[in-house]
C-alpha cells in the first residue's frame, strides 16, 4: 500500500484515542499510552515457515503449518493470529499480513488441520475436522505464538474470515483464553453455520470443492453460537458487505446483540459480497488495522 495510507492511518489512530478511552474495558487500560512506532521501523519481507505441534483432545498428534511475519528489529511486539475460511489456506491474507506487519505486528497465519484440500497441516482428515477441532488448533496457535521471544503476550489479537471468523469468535470466548485476548476482528463471520446444517443428514457432504464430514455436521446441530460468543467481554470489530449471499444480515445483528452494541465496531460495506476485493478490501483492511491500533498500547 502507498506510504500516504500509513500516514493517514497513524493520524486516524491518534484521533481515535480519545474515543477509545470510553470503551468498555478495565479502568486501568485508560491510563495506558497507545503505541507509536519509531520512524526507522523495519519489518520482514521474507517470511518464515512456522509449525505448531500439539496433541489434541482425542490424543492425535497435530502439526499446524503456517507462516510467520515478524518485525526485523529486536524487541517484543503485539501479535495477530489470522484464521482462514472454509477450504482456505494460510496464504489467504497477504494484504492483511503486509499491512499489519508494516505497522509492527507479528502475524501468524496457518492451515487448520483437515479443513482444506491440499493443506499443509498434518494429523487430521476432512472427515475428522469440525469447528471445535479448529478451535483447538487456534488455541494451540495462541499458546505457541504467545511464547515467541519477539511477542508481547499481553497483546494477542485474533482475526478471521467467514468460517475462520466463526471459529475466532468461539475461541475468544473460551474460558481459558477470553481474558488473554486483547480484541478480535472478523470479516463476514459465518455465524450461520449451525443453522445451515441443523436437521441435515449427518453424512459426508461435498461442498465448494471440498467436503463437510458427518462429524462436522453432528457437532453443530445443537450449537447456538450467540449463547457462547458473548462470554468474550472485550472489544470486537466486524466488517461485512451488504450483498453477502452466504451470511445474512440477521447473523451480524445477532452477534452485535450477543456482544453488546457498545463493544462492537461494525462496518457495513455497500455493494460488497462474501469476500472482499478492490476498494472493499482496502476499506476492510484499513478499518481492522485502525481498530487493532486503537487497542495496542506501549508495553
Classify residue 299: in a domain, yes or no. no
pLDDT in tens, 182-201: 999 999 999 999 999 999 99
Quick check: helix, strand or coil at residue 201?
A: coil
Q: Which cell numbers in the block locate residue 167?
A: 471459529
Classify residue 298: in a domain, yes or no. no
> Model confidence at 30, in pLDDT bands (50, 70, 90)?
low
Q: What does the pLDDT read at residue 83?
A: 98
Residue at grid coordinates 457432504: 205
Select the more confidently predicted residue: 137 or 30: 137
CA distance 43 to 41: 7
What share of the chain in percent tops pLDDT 70? Answer: 90
Classify residue 279: in a domain, yes or no. yes
Radius of gyration of the chain (CA): 18
Segment holding 287, helix H or strand E: helix 278-293
Segment holding 288, helix H or strand E: helix 278-293
CB of 262 closer than 8 Å to CB of 24: yes
Domain containing 41: what range?
A: 3-293
pTM for the structure as a whole = 0.89
Is the dihedral angle over the CA atoms 259, 261, 267, 271 positive or is it negative? positive
pLDDT greater than 80 at residue 209: yes
For the domain that residue 10 is a member of, what is the CATH number? 3.40.50.1820
Domain count, the chain: 1
Q: What does the pLDDT read at residue 26?
A: 46
Beta pairing class for 236-241 and 264-269: parallel
Give the phi and the psi of residue 143 in degrees, each rounded to 5.
Answer: -60, -45
Amino acid at each position: 500500500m502507498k506510504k500516504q495510507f500509513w500516514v493517514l492511518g497513524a493520524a486516524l489512530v491518534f484521533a481515535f484515542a480519545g474515543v477509545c478511552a470510553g470503551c468498555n474495558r478495565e479502568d486501568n487500560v485508560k491510563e495506558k499510552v497507545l503505541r507509536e512506532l519509531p520512524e526507522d521501523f523495519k519489518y520482514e519481507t521474507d517470511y518464515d515457515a512456522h509449525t505448531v505441534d500439539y496433541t489434541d483432545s482425542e490424543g492425535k498428534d497435530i502439526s499446524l503449518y503456517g507462516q510467520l511475519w515478524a518485525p526485523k528489529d529486536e524487541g517484543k511486539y503485539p501479535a495477530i493470529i489470522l484464521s482462514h475460511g472454509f477450504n482456505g489456506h494460510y496464504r489467504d491474507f497477504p494484504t492483511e499480513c503486509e499491512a499489519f506487519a508494516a505497522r509492527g505486528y507479528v502475524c501468524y497465519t496457518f492451515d487448520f488441520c483437515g479443513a482444506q484440500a491440499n493443506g499443509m497441516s498434518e494429523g487430521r482428515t476432512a472427515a475428522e475436522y469440525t469447528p471445535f477441532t479448529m478451535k483447538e488448533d487456534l488455541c494451540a496457535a495462541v499458546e505457541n505464538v504467545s511464547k515467541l521471544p519477539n511477542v508481547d503476550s499481553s497483546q494477542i489479537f485474533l482475526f478471521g474470515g467467514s468460517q475462520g471468523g466463526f471459529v475466532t469468535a468461539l475461541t475468544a470466548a473460551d474460558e481459558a483464553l477470553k481474558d488473554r485476548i486483547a480484541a478480535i476482528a472478523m470479516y463476514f463471520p459465518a455465524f450461520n453455520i449451525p443453522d445451515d446444517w441443523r436437521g441435515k443428514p449427518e453424512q459426508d457432504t461435498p461442498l465448494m470443492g471440498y467436503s463437510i464430514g458427518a462429524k462436522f455436521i453432528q457437532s453443530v446441530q445443537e450449537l447456538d453460537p450467540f449463547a457462547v460468543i458473548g462470554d468474550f467481554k472485550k472489544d470486537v470489530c466486524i466488517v461485512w458487505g451488504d450483498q453477502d449471499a452466504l451470511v445474512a444480515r440477521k447473523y451480524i445483528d445477532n452477534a452485535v446483540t450477543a456482544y453488546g452494541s457498545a463493544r462492537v465496531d461494525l462496518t457495513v460495506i455497500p455493494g460488497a459480497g462474501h469476500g472482499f476485493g478492490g476498494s472493499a478490501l482496502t476499506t476492510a483492511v484499513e478499518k481492522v488495522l485502525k481498530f487493532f491500533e486503537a487497542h495496542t498500547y506501549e508495553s
